[in-house]
Amino acid sequence: MTAHPFVILYVEDNDLIRESFAEMLASPERQVVCVADGAAAREALRQQNVNLLMTDINLPDGSGLDVAREALRQNPKMPVIVCSGQDLRDVTQLLGPTAHPLRKPFELHELEALLERLAQ
């Protein structure tokens, strides 16, 4: 991992999923900042030095894609993971080379492998 701690902004409106994955992903090398909607994500992007954005596509106040676009405007090199039950390969290609789809449901080891690759 490059920066210490490596800060992941995780945007997920489902409390149980958000809290469970945050607990599983946190480590001495990683800090997970969790928020439940787009407004809180935008605020976190302004306040935190975020190294990676992981967002659900459907948020209570809009689309995770809008959050991803805003994050990439601030930092075009930021890795972005967009999560959905839908196939998002075409959509993430439009976001650019640092965007990656992750189809729900996914296994923790899939997410860990992707995070390790993107945190290089």
Residues 30-82: pLDDT tens digits?
Answer: 999 999 999 999 999 999 999 999 999 999 999 999 999 999 999 999 999 99
Residue 119: what pLDDT? 83
DSSP state of 98: T
Q: What is the mean pLDDT of residues 94-116?
A: 91
CB contact burial 60-82 (16+ within 10 A = b; e otherwise): eeebbbebbbebbeeeeebbbbb
CA angle 10, 35, 39 (to 5 degrees): 115
Strands 52-56 and 6-11: parallel
Query: Domains (ranges, CATH) in the chain?
Result: 6-118 (3.40.50.2300)
Q: What span, in angstroms and rounded, lies between the C-alpha atoms of 86 and 93? A: 14
